[in-house]
Structure 1
Protein backbone atom coordinates (compact mmCIF):
# COMPACT_ATOMS: atom_id res chain seq x y z
CA UNK A 1 0.00 0.00 0.00
CA UNK A 2 1.11 3.57 -0.76
CA UNK A 3 2.59 4.90 2.52
CA UNK A 4 1.03 8.31 1.84
CA UNK A 5 -2.42 6.69 2.00
CA UNK A 6 -1.53 5.55 5.51
CA UNK A 7 -0.26 9.00 6.48
CA UNK A 8 -3.41 10.76 5.24
CA UNK A 9 -5.87 9.46 7.89
CA UNK A 10 -3.24 10.01 10.57
CA UNK A 11 -2.78 13.65 9.50
CA UNK A 12 -6.51 14.29 9.10
CA UNK A 13 -7.99 12.53 12.11
CA UNK A 14 -5.15 12.48 14.64
CA UNK A 15 -2.82 15.41 14.00
CA UNK A 16 -4.05 18.34 11.90
CA UNK A 17 -7.81 17.91 12.18
CA UNK A 18 -7.95 18.07 16.00
CA UNK A 19 -5.32 20.85 16.04
CA UNK A 20 -7.35 22.94 13.59
CA UNK A 21 -10.54 22.44 15.59
CA UNK A 22 -8.78 23.50 18.79
CA UNK A 23 -7.07 26.55 17.29
CA UNK A 24 -9.82 27.86 15.00
CA UNK A 25 -13.11 26.46 16.40
CA UNK A 26 -14.43 25.97 12.86
CA UNK A 27 -18.13 26.29 12.12
CA UNK A 28 -19.12 23.93 9.29
CA UNK A 29 -22.55 23.79 7.66
CA UNK A 30 -23.90 21.97 4.62
CA UNK A 31 -21.73 18.84 4.70
CA UNK A 32 -24.81 16.92 3.56
CA UNK A 33 -24.37 18.54 0.14
CA UNK A 34 -21.06 16.74 -0.49
CA UNK A 35 -21.86 13.47 -2.29
CA UNK A 36 -20.66 10.43 -0.35
CA UNK A 37 -19.39 8.74 -3.52
CA UNK A 38 -18.38 9.66 -7.03
CA UNK A 39 -16.61 12.65 -8.55
CA UNK A 40 -17.26 16.13 -7.23
CA UNK A 41 -15.68 19.55 -7.69
CA UNK A 42 -15.52 21.78 -4.60
CA UNK A 43 -15.40 25.39 -5.82
CA UNK A 44 -14.44 27.79 -3.04
CA UNK A 45 -13.55 31.42 -2.54
CA UNK A 46 -9.93 32.12 -1.66
CA UNK A 47 -9.08 34.34 1.30
CA UNK A 48 -5.91 32.88 2.81
CA UNK A 49 -3.16 30.29 2.63
CA UNK A 50 -5.05 28.02 5.04
CA UNK A 51 -7.95 27.58 2.59
CA UNK A 52 -6.34 24.61 0.86
CA UNK A 53 -6.07 22.81 4.22
CA UNK A 54 -9.47 23.76 5.62
CA UNK A 55 -11.34 21.90 2.88
CA UNK A 56 -9.40 18.60 3.06
CA UNK A 57 -9.55 18.54 6.86
CA UNK A 58 -13.21 19.50 7.29
CA UNK A 59 -14.82 17.53 4.43
CA UNK A 60 -15.42 13.80 5.16
CA UNK A 61 -13.79 12.58 1.94
CA UNK A 62 -10.25 12.74 0.66
CA UNK A 63 -9.89 16.04 -1.17
CA UNK A 64 -7.24 16.71 -3.80
CA UNK A 65 -5.97 20.11 -4.86
CA UNK A 66 -3.15 21.50 -6.98
CA UNK A 67 0.05 22.55 -5.23
CA UNK A 68 3.03 24.49 -6.52
CA UNK A 69 5.74 22.26 -7.95
CA UNK A 70 8.22 23.89 -5.58
CA UNK A 71 6.49 22.30 -2.59
CA UNK A 72 7.56 18.88 -3.84
CA UNK A 73 11.11 19.48 -5.05
CA UNK A 74 12.95 20.78 -1.99
CA UNK A 75 16.32 19.30 -1.13
CA UNK A 76 17.36 17.42 1.97
CA UNK A 77 15.32 16.10 4.87
CA UNK A 78 13.18 19.25 5.09
CA UNK A 79 12.37 19.08 1.38
CA UNK A 80 11.35 15.42 1.56
CA UNK A 81 9.26 16.05 4.68
CA UNK A 82 7.50 18.99 3.01
CA UNK A 83 6.72 16.95 -0.10
CA UNK A 84 5.37 14.05 1.98
CA UNK A 85 3.20 16.41 4.01
CA UNK A 86 1.63 18.06 0.98
CA UNK A 87 0.97 14.75 -0.76
CA UNK A 88 -0.50 13.30 2.42
CA UNK A 89 -3.11 16.07 2.63
CA UNK A 90 -4.13 15.62 -1.02
CA UNK A 91 -1.93 18.10 -2.89
CA UNK A 92 -0.87 17.25 -6.43
CA UNK A 93 2.28 18.84 -7.85
CA UNK A 94 1.82 21.00 -10.94
CA UNK A 95 4.51 23.03 -12.67
CA UNK A 96 2.77 26.32 -13.41
CA UNK A 97 5.51 27.68 -15.66
CA UNK A 98 5.49 27.34 -19.42
CA UNK A 99 2.82 27.47 -22.08
CA UNK A 100 1.27 24.06 -21.31
CA UNK A 101 0.80 24.74 -17.60
CA UNK A 102 -2.95 25.37 -17.82
CA UNK A 103 -3.52 22.25 -19.95
CA UNK A 104 -1.44 20.10 -17.60
CA UNK A 105 -3.39 21.40 -14.60
CA UNK A 106 -6.68 20.61 -16.35
CA UNK A 107 -5.52 17.10 -17.24
CA UNK A 108 -4.34 16.45 -13.68
CA UNK A 109 -7.60 17.70 -12.18
CA UNK A 110 -9.70 15.69 -14.65
CA UNK A 111 -7.79 12.50 -13.80
CA UNK A 112 -8.80 12.86 -10.13
CA UNK A 113 -12.46 13.25 -11.06
CA UNK A 114 -12.45 10.50 -13.69
CA UNK A 115 -11.24 8.11 -10.98
CA UNK A 116 -14.23 9.09 -8.79
CA UNK A 117 -12.37 11.49 -6.51
CA UNK A 118 -12.96 14.93 -5.01
CA UNK A 119 -11.12 17.92 -6.41
CA UNK A 120 -11.03 21.38 -4.82
CA UNK A 121 -10.44 24.54 -6.80
CA UNK A 122 -10.44 28.28 -6.17
CA UNK A 123 -11.97 29.82 -9.31
CA UNK A 124 -10.54 33.27 -8.46
CA UNK A 125 -7.10 31.80 -9.19
CA UNK A 126 -5.37 33.67 -6.38
CA UNK A 127 -6.11 34.97 -2.90
CA UNK A 128 -8.40 37.97 -2.61
CA UNK A 129 -6.28 41.04 -1.75
CA UNK A 130 -9.06 42.76 0.19
CA UNK A 131 -11.68 40.21 1.27
CA UNK A 132 -13.97 40.81 -1.71
CA UNK A 133 -14.98 38.07 -4.16
CA UNK A 134 -13.41 38.45 -7.59
CA UNK A 135 -14.39 37.21 -11.04
CA UNK A 136 -13.84 33.50 -11.54
CA UNK A 137 -11.56 32.01 -14.14
CA UNK A 138 -13.20 29.47 -16.44
CA UNK A 139 -11.06 26.44 -15.57
CA UNK A 140 -13.70 25.22 -13.11
CA UNK A 141 -16.38 25.28 -15.82
CA UNK A 142 -14.18 23.53 -18.36
CA UNK A 143 -13.43 20.85 -15.79
CA UNK A 144 -17.14 20.36 -15.05
CA UNK A 145 -18.04 20.14 -18.74
CA UNK A 146 -15.20 17.76 -19.49
CA UNK A 147 -15.91 15.31 -16.66
CA UNK A 148 -19.62 15.78 -15.93
CA UNK A 149 -18.80 16.10 -12.23
CA UNK A 150 -21.20 18.21 -10.12
CA UNK A 151 -19.86 21.47 -8.70
CA UNK A 152 -20.44 22.13 -5.00
CA UNK A 153 -20.02 25.82 -4.10
CA UNK A 154 -18.18 26.54 -0.85
CA UNK A 155 -17.69 29.73 1.17
CA UNK A 156 -14.67 29.89 3.46
CA UNK A 157 -14.66 32.56 6.17
CA UNK A 158 -12.05 33.94 8.52
CA UNK A 159 -8.83 32.47 7.11
CA UNK A 160 -7.67 35.94 6.05
CA UNK A 161 -8.08 37.10 9.65
CA UNK A 162 -6.21 34.25 11.34
CA UNK A 163 -3.37 34.43 8.81
CA UNK A 164 -3.20 37.74 6.94
CA UNK A 165 -1.11 37.89 3.78
CA UNK A 166 2.58 37.98 4.67
CA UNK A 167 2.14 36.44 8.13
CA UNK A 168 4.01 33.15 8.36
CA UNK A 169 2.25 31.63 11.39
CA UNK A 170 -1.54 31.69 11.84
CA UNK A 171 -3.01 32.98 15.08
CA UNK A 172 -6.02 31.52 16.93
CA UNK A 173 -9.38 32.73 15.67
CA UNK A 174 -12.70 31.60 14.21
CA UNK A 175 -13.04 30.18 10.71
CA UNK A 176 -16.13 28.93 8.94
CA UNK A 177 -17.16 26.73 6.04
CA UNK A 178 -20.54 26.96 4.30
CA UNK A 179 -21.32 24.37 1.65
CA UNK A 180 -24.09 24.79 -0.90
CA UNK A 181 -26.14 22.40 -3.00
CA UNK A 182 -24.49 20.62 -5.96
CA UNK A 183 -24.76 22.28 -9.37
CA UNK A 184 -25.11 20.10 -12.47
CA UNK A 185 -23.76 21.51 -15.74
CA UNK A 186 -23.90 18.42 -17.93
CA UNK A 187 -24.93 19.25 -21.48
CA UNK A 188 -24.60 23.01 -21.03
CA UNK A 189 -22.20 23.27 -23.97
CA UNK A 190 -24.51 21.53 -26.45
CA UNK A 191 -25.16 23.88 -29.35
CA UNK A 192 -23.32 26.70 -27.56
CA UNK A 193 -19.73 27.85 -28.14
CA UNK A 194 -17.67 26.23 -25.39
CA UNK A 195 -16.03 29.50 -24.43
CA UNK A 196 -19.38 31.20 -23.90
CA UNK A 197 -20.73 28.22 -21.96
CA UNK A 198 -17.61 28.21 -19.75
CA UNK A 199 -18.04 31.91 -18.96
CA UNK A 200 -21.74 31.54 -18.13
CA UNK A 201 -21.17 28.49 -15.93
CA UNK A 202 -18.31 30.16 -14.08
CA UNK A 203 -20.42 33.24 -13.39
CA UNK A 204 -23.21 31.03 -11.99
CA UNK A 205 -20.72 29.28 -9.71
CA UNK A 206 -19.35 32.59 -8.45
CA UNK A 207 -22.89 33.84 -7.81
CA UNK A 208 -23.56 30.72 -5.72
CA UNK A 209 -20.34 31.24 -3.75
CA UNK A 210 -21.27 34.89 -3.14
CA UNK A 211 -24.69 33.82 -1.89
CA UNK A 212 -22.99 31.66 0.72
CA UNK A 213 -20.19 34.07 1.69
CA UNK A 214 -21.98 37.43 1.50
CA UNK A 215 -18.83 39.01 0.04
CA UNK A 216 -18.94 42.08 -2.16
CA UNK A 217 -18.44 40.98 -5.76
CA UNK A 218 -15.88 42.54 -8.10
CA UNK A 219 -16.42 41.87 -11.81
CA UNK A 220 -12.71 41.79 -12.51
CA UNK A 221 -9.92 39.26 -11.97
CA UNK A 222 -8.06 39.45 -8.68
CA UNK A 223 -4.54 40.87 -9.11
CA UNK A 224 -1.83 38.28 -8.61
CA UNK A 225 0.82 39.19 -6.01
CA UNK A 226 4.14 40.30 -7.39
CA UNK A 227 6.76 37.58 -7.58
CA UNK A 228 9.62 38.07 -5.09
CA UNK A 229 12.77 39.42 -6.69
Structure 2
Protein backbone atom coordinates (compact mmCIF):
# COMPACT_ATOMS: atom_id res chain seq x y z
CA UNK A 1 0.00 0.00 0.00
CA UNK A 2 1.04 3.60 -0.61
CA UNK A 3 0.87 6.06 2.24
CA UNK A 4 -0.93 9.37 1.82
CA UNK A 5 -2.55 8.50 -1.51
CA UNK A 6 -4.56 11.30 -3.03
CA UNK A 7 -6.70 12.01 -6.10
CA UNK A 8 -5.89 14.71 -8.64
CA UNK A 9 -8.27 16.12 -11.23
CA UNK A 10 -6.44 16.64 -14.52
CA UNK A 11 -7.51 18.59 -17.61
CA UNK A 12 -5.77 17.08 -20.64
CA UNK A 13 -5.60 18.53 -24.15
CA UNK A 14 -7.35 16.22 -26.62
CA UNK A 15 -4.18 15.75 -28.66
CA UNK A 16 -2.42 14.29 -25.62
CA UNK A 17 -5.33 12.23 -24.29
CA UNK A 18 -4.41 8.88 -25.95
CA UNK A 19 -0.85 9.13 -24.59
CA UNK A 20 -1.99 10.28 -21.17
CA UNK A 21 -4.35 7.34 -20.83
CA UNK A 22 -1.32 5.05 -20.74
CA UNK A 23 0.75 7.43 -18.64
CA UNK A 24 -2.03 7.62 -16.05
CA UNK A 25 -2.12 3.84 -15.67
CA UNK A 26 1.63 3.73 -15.04
CA UNK A 27 1.48 6.69 -12.65
CA UNK A 28 -1.36 5.19 -10.60
CA UNK A 29 0.37 1.81 -10.40
CA UNK A 30 3.68 3.35 -9.37
CA UNK A 31 2.37 5.85 -6.81
CA UNK A 32 -0.98 4.62 -5.54
CA UNK A 33 -2.49 8.01 -6.35
CA UNK A 34 -5.64 8.26 -8.46
CA UNK A 35 -6.33 10.56 -11.39
CA UNK A 36 -9.68 11.92 -12.52
CA UNK A 37 -9.17 12.92 -16.14
CA UNK A 38 -11.10 15.22 -18.48
CA UNK A 39 -10.03 15.79 -22.09
CA UNK A 40 -10.97 18.66 -24.37
CA UNK A 41 -9.70 21.74 -26.14
CA UNK A 42 -7.13 23.89 -24.37
CA UNK A 43 -9.14 27.05 -24.99
CA UNK A 44 -12.24 25.57 -23.43
CA UNK A 45 -10.27 24.47 -20.36
CA UNK A 46 -8.83 27.97 -20.05
CA UNK A 47 -12.32 29.44 -19.87
CA UNK A 48 -13.46 26.79 -17.38
CA UNK A 49 -10.46 27.31 -15.09
CA UNK A 50 -11.02 31.07 -15.05
CA UNK A 51 -14.66 30.37 -14.16
CA UNK A 52 -13.63 28.22 -11.17
CA UNK A 53 -13.56 24.66 -12.54
CA UNK A 54 -11.93 22.39 -9.92
CA UNK A 55 -8.91 21.17 -11.91
CA UNK A 56 -5.61 20.54 -10.15
CA UNK A 57 -3.38 20.21 -13.21
CA UNK A 58 -3.68 21.37 -16.82
CA UNK A 59 -1.78 19.62 -19.60
CA UNK A 60 -2.22 22.14 -22.39
CA UNK A 61 -1.57 21.75 -26.12
CA UNK A 62 0.33 25.05 -26.13
CA UNK A 63 2.52 27.22 -23.92
CA UNK A 64 0.51 30.43 -24.25
CA UNK A 65 -2.44 29.26 -22.13
CA UNK A 66 -0.31 28.17 -19.15
CA UNK A 67 1.57 31.48 -19.32
CA UNK A 68 -1.70 33.40 -19.22
CA UNK A 69 -3.01 31.33 -16.30
CA UNK A 70 0.15 32.02 -14.34
CA UNK A 71 0.08 35.74 -15.14
CA UNK A 72 -3.58 35.94 -14.12
CA UNK A 73 -2.99 34.17 -10.82
CA UNK A 74 -4.79 30.91 -11.54
CA UNK A 75 -1.71 28.71 -11.25
CA UNK A 76 1.25 28.25 -8.94
CA UNK A 77 4.12 30.43 -10.08
CA UNK A 78 7.29 28.67 -11.18
CA UNK A 79 5.66 25.27 -11.65
CA UNK A 80 4.87 25.19 -15.37
CA UNK A 81 7.18 23.32 -17.74
CA UNK A 82 7.23 21.84 -21.23
CA UNK A 83 6.16 18.21 -21.00
CA UNK A 84 6.20 17.50 -24.75
CA UNK A 85 6.24 18.96 -28.24
CA UNK A 86 3.56 17.89 -30.67
CA UNK A 87 3.59 17.13 -34.39
CA UNK A 88 0.83 17.98 -36.84
CA UNK A 89 -0.19 15.34 -39.39
CA UNK A 90 -2.53 15.40 -42.38
CA UNK A 91 -4.24 11.99 -42.29
CA UNK A 92 -6.77 10.00 -44.30
CA UNK A 93 -8.15 6.49 -43.93
CA UNK A 94 -7.78 6.14 -47.70
CA UNK A 95 -4.34 4.66 -48.40
CA UNK A 96 -4.03 6.45 -51.74
CA UNK A 97 -5.19 9.95 -50.83
CA UNK A 98 -2.46 11.75 -48.87
CA UNK A 99 0.98 11.93 -50.49
CA UNK A 100 4.25 12.48 -48.64
CA UNK A 101 4.47 16.12 -49.75
CA UNK A 102 0.93 17.22 -48.91
CA UNK A 103 0.18 17.97 -52.56
CA UNK A 104 -3.31 16.58 -52.07
CA UNK A 105 -4.24 20.00 -50.67
CA UNK A 106 -3.53 21.53 -54.08
CA UNK A 107 -4.79 18.67 -56.23
CA UNK A 108 -8.10 18.12 -54.44
CA UNK A 109 -9.88 14.82 -54.92
CA UNK A 110 -11.70 15.10 -51.59
CA UNK A 111 -14.95 16.59 -50.34
CA UNK A 112 -14.27 17.40 -46.68
CA UNK A 113 -11.16 18.41 -44.76
CA UNK A 114 -11.36 18.22 -40.96
CA UNK A 115 -9.52 20.39 -38.47
CA UNK A 116 -9.96 21.57 -34.91
CA UNK A 117 -11.44 24.99 -34.18
CA UNK A 118 -8.41 27.34 -34.33
CA UNK A 119 -10.02 29.70 -31.81
CA UNK A 120 -9.84 27.19 -28.95
CA UNK A 121 -7.53 24.37 -30.11
CA UNK A 122 -3.79 24.91 -30.70
CA UNK A 123 -3.69 22.08 -33.26
CA UNK A 124 -6.48 23.87 -35.11
CA UNK A 125 -4.49 27.10 -35.06
CA UNK A 126 -1.49 25.19 -36.44
CA UNK A 127 -3.63 23.69 -39.22
CA UNK A 128 -4.89 27.16 -40.13
CA UNK A 129 -1.29 28.38 -40.34
CA UNK A 130 -0.39 25.53 -42.69
CA UNK A 131 -3.32 26.18 -45.02
CA UNK A 132 -2.53 29.90 -45.04
CA UNK A 133 1.18 29.46 -45.72
CA UNK A 134 0.50 26.99 -48.52
CA UNK A 135 -1.94 29.44 -50.09
CA UNK A 136 -4.85 26.98 -50.12
CA UNK A 137 -7.07 28.37 -47.37
CA UNK A 138 -9.27 30.31 -49.77
CA UNK A 139 -9.79 27.52 -52.33
CA UNK A 140 -10.49 24.95 -49.59
CA UNK A 141 -12.61 27.10 -47.26
CA UNK A 142 -15.87 25.57 -48.47
CA UNK A 143 -14.66 22.04 -47.74
CA UNK A 144 -13.41 22.57 -44.18
CA UNK A 145 -15.33 21.00 -41.29
CA UNK A 146 -14.30 22.07 -37.79
CA UNK A 147 -14.39 20.08 -34.61
CA UNK A 148 -14.32 21.67 -31.17
CA UNK A 149 -11.07 19.83 -30.46
CA UNK A 150 -8.47 17.83 -32.37
CA UNK A 151 -10.10 14.70 -30.91
CA UNK A 152 -13.31 15.58 -32.75
CA UNK A 153 -11.37 16.32 -35.94
CA UNK A 154 -9.77 12.88 -35.60
CA UNK A 155 -13.20 11.27 -35.21
CA UNK A 156 -14.47 13.03 -38.34
CA UNK A 157 -11.74 11.27 -40.33
CA UNK A 158 -11.93 7.96 -38.45
CA UNK A 159 -15.68 7.72 -39.03
CA UNK A 160 -15.46 8.66 -42.69
CA UNK A 161 -17.35 11.93 -42.23
CA UNK A 162 -14.27 13.72 -43.56
CA UNK A 163 -11.93 12.42 -46.27
CA UNK A 164 -8.84 13.72 -44.50
CA UNK A 165 -7.92 15.98 -41.64
CA UNK A 166 -5.25 17.64 -39.56
CA UNK A 167 -4.61 15.61 -36.41
CA UNK A 168 -1.83 15.00 -33.91
CA UNK A 169 0.78 12.35 -34.64
CA UNK A 170 0.26 11.07 -31.10
CA UNK A 171 -3.38 10.30 -31.94
CA UNK A 172 -2.33 7.97 -34.76
CA UNK A 173 0.28 6.27 -32.62
CA UNK A 174 -1.75 6.26 -29.44
CA UNK A 175 -5.11 5.00 -30.64
CA UNK A 176 -6.53 1.68 -29.50
CA UNK A 177 -5.75 0.18 -32.87
CA UNK A 178 -3.04 0.67 -35.47
CA UNK A 179 -4.60 3.22 -37.78
CA UNK A 180 -4.13 2.57 -41.48
CA UNK A 181 -4.44 4.93 -44.40
CA UNK A 182 -2.06 7.61 -45.61
CA UNK A 183 -0.57 10.64 -43.92
CA UNK A 184 1.85 13.50 -44.26
CA UNK A 185 3.87 14.67 -41.26
CA UNK A 186 3.67 18.42 -41.79
CA UNK A 187 7.10 20.11 -41.87
CA UNK A 188 7.60 22.09 -38.64
CA UNK A 189 8.53 25.25 -40.51
CA UNK A 190 4.92 25.57 -41.72
CA UNK A 191 3.45 26.25 -38.27
CA UNK A 192 4.31 27.67 -34.88
CA UNK A 193 5.90 24.93 -32.74
CA UNK A 194 3.38 23.03 -30.64
CA UNK A 195 5.16 23.46 -27.33
CA UNK A 196 2.91 21.79 -24.77
CA UNK A 197 3.16 22.93 -21.16
CA UNK A 198 1.92 21.46 -17.91
CA UNK A 199 0.84 23.77 -15.12
CA UNK A 200 -0.04 23.22 -11.47
CA UNK A 201 -3.22 25.16 -10.80
CA UNK A 202 -4.00 26.95 -7.53
CA UNK A 203 -6.66 24.30 -6.83
CA UNK A 204 -3.93 21.64 -6.78
CA UNK A 205 -1.32 23.55 -4.81
CA UNK A 206 -1.65 21.32 -1.74
CA UNK A 207 -2.66 18.16 -3.60
CA UNK A 208 -0.03 15.45 -3.14
CA UNK A 209 -1.14 13.54 -6.25
CA UNK A 210 -1.04 16.65 -8.42
CA UNK A 211 2.50 17.50 -7.36
CA UNK A 212 3.56 13.87 -7.84
CA UNK A 213 2.13 13.88 -11.36
CA UNK A 214 4.09 17.00 -12.27
CA UNK A 215 7.28 15.24 -11.17
CA UNK A 216 6.36 11.99 -12.91
CA UNK A 217 5.94 13.74 -16.27
CA UNK A 218 9.55 14.93 -16.11
CA UNK A 219 10.88 11.41 -15.47
CA UNK A 220 12.54 8.93 -17.82
CA UNK A 221 9.67 6.42 -17.73
CA UNK A 222 7.08 8.99 -18.80
CA UNK A 223 9.32 10.48 -21.46
CA UNK A 224 10.07 7.08 -23.00
CA UNK A 225 6.35 6.42 -23.34
CA UNK A 226 5.70 9.88 -24.77
CA UNK A 227 8.51 9.45 -27.29
CA UNK A 228 6.96 6.17 -28.44
CA UNK A 229 3.74 8.07 -29.11
CA UNK A 230 5.38 10.58 -31.41
CA UNK A 231 6.21 13.38 -28.98
CA UNK A 232 9.49 15.23 -28.76
CA UNK A 233 10.99 17.37 -26.00
Q: Same fold (TM over 0.5)?
A: no
**TM-score using structure 1 length:** 0.26
Of structures 1 and 2, the one with the larger relative CO (CA 8 A, separation 6+) is 2
Using structure 2 for the length normalisation, give the TM-score: 0.26
Larger Rg computed on CA atoms = 2
